[in-house]
Amino acid sequence: MLSKEDNELITRTGPGTPMGNAMRRYWLPACLSRELAEPDSAPVRVKLLGEELVAFRDTAGRIGLVEEYCPHRGVSLYFGRNEECGLRCVYHGWKFDVGGACVDQLNEPEELQFKHKVRLTAYPTCELGGIVWAYLGPADKMPPLPKFAWTQVPESRRHVTKVIEECNYLQALEGGIDTSHAPILHRLLTDNSTRGGLKPSNPFVRGKAPNLQVDITDYGYLYAGVRPLGDADIHVRTYHFIMPFHQIRPSRSESGLPTDAGHIWVPIDDHNCMVYNWIYSTSDGPLTAEDRLERGLGNGPLHVDPKTFRSFQNRTNNYGLDREVQRTESYTGIDGINQQDRALQESMGRIVDRSREHLGPADKAIIQARKLLREAVKAVEAGRQPPGTDTSYYTIKAGEDVFPRDADWHQALAPDITKDKILQTV
């Protein structure tokens, strides 16, 4: 369980909150690059950590991320004209560049303009991996750019989507770093099912309940679920949790390519988060059109409105739950692995009361994530950088395989995480 005070501490991320201050020390996904596809294209509303913002790509291709409301009379700049290297409010014609500076005031005589005295709050941005990232923290504390391995491959080998989840970021994150639920919630009942999920013959499903190992590192942790398979073998699946809300996991694409994949659970506000879903081919082979549909996961255009980024199946229609499918084909009767996750996580309420939980050994990774988030708050309050703001996570990958019981799975699946990089094993 978590005390009510600690639950408030790490779930509340708005301006001025301790966790919000800590999260502002990281690069945060703000929107997809394709939402701002062309110079002078339509601006896009963005809400991050409770702040209402507008993103736009100017005539020169630079991306601005500024507060949404015009400082003149409070009109939303979402309705603005994106033209000639600036976003112009259509109410009185005040215009702002990507740095937030007011560069024109159409409703004032030129000799009386006071544009040099007016600024919008504006945040630095960068583009990596098909995502526009933003930094909302102090300028002198800006960390290195978030050059995850998946952001460094050609577009043909990577795919990124996003979907709104109607709950606090933490319960979504905790679902993603919880390996013990996966072969239960996501299991199929027959090997011949064509639905997304884990078939009964999969060693991930055949194995017994996992023994967990969590290796604490400077970026978060390496997390392994070790499942006995009979008397001689074990199935091992590794994940990485990278502060404050990233997951890396092993996967295979719909077409069978070896891939790494993961999620980023970014707080929109305290009651909603945006889940960024990424996958990239770890071989030279490109992802296919079928891979990009994400049929089995429930994140692609068949499941999520590509304009609003909301799931077609949601709490209003019980996520498409089909009791006959639940009886004959899948454990849940809900289509799509990540759609199953969203259904269960949203069912807990907008912010779950963790003081009522009963955690066990299978929740070791969740317990450690909460501890790291609390430590990040303390670090920032003490004037230090929180963990995960350096470059040590750039090359790490996740893995999965079957080994003899006495094999060194750590060397095989996590060679980058050497003993000198492990701060503690729990």
Over range 141-146, report the average pLDDT.
97
What are the structure tokens assigned to 108, written together? 């004032």
Site of tokens 């603005």: 80
Instruction: Supply the mean pLDDT for the chain.
Output: 96
What are the structure tokens assigned to 171, written together? 């319960």
pLDDT of residue 258: 86
What are the structure tokens assigned to 420, written together? 């000198």
- Residue 288 DSSP label: P
pLDDT of residue 321: 97
Assess whether pLDDT exceeds 90 at residue 237. Answer: yes
Task: Tell me the per-residue pLDDT of 343-360, one tens digit each, with 9 for 90 and over.
Answer: 999 999 999 999 999 999
Assess whether pLDDT exceeds 90 at residue 284. Answer: no
pLDDT of residue 256: 84
Q: How many helices (H) and strands (E) does the chain have?
A: 10, 20
| Helix 169-176, helix 4-11: angle, nearest 10 | 90
Over range 52-63, report the average pLDDT.
98
Task: Tell me the per-residue pLDDT of 370-418, one tens digit each, with 9 for 90 and over.
Answer: 999 999 999 999 999 999 999 999 999 999 999 999 999 999 999 889 8
Over range 53-75, report the average pLDDT.
98
Assess whether pLDDT exceeds 90 at residue 1. Answer: no
CA angle (164 as vertex; 325, 146 as ends), nearest 5: 120
Q: Which domains does the chain have, with CATH numbers?
A: 27-141 (2.102.10.10), 149-425 (3.90.380.10)
Are the C-beta atoms of 203 and 402 separated by less than 8 Å? Answer: yes
Separation between Cα atoms, residue 425 and residue 226, nearest integer Å:
15
pLDDT of residue 277: 98
pTM equals 0.96
Assess whether pLDDT exceeds 90 at residue 257. Answer: no
pLDDT of residue 252: 84
User: Strand order in 51-57's β-sheet?
Assistant: 44-48, 51-57, 63-67, 122-123
**Residue 414 dihedral angles phi and psi, to the nearest 5°:** -140, 60
Over range 313-327, report the average pLDDT.
97
Residue 237's alpha-carbon distances to 158, 385, 421, in angstroms, are 22, 30, 20
- Residue 175 DSSP label: H
Segment among 121-130, 248-257, 268-277 with least mean pLDDT: 248-257
Assess whether pLDDT exceeds 90 at residue 204. Answer: no
Task: Tell me the per-residue pLDDT of 330-347, one tens digit each, with 9 for 90 and over.
Answer: 999 999 999 999 999 999
Over range 116-122, report the average pLDDT.
97
Over range 190-216, report the average pLDDT.
92
Over range 204-229, report the average pLDDT.
93
pLDDT of residue 255: 84
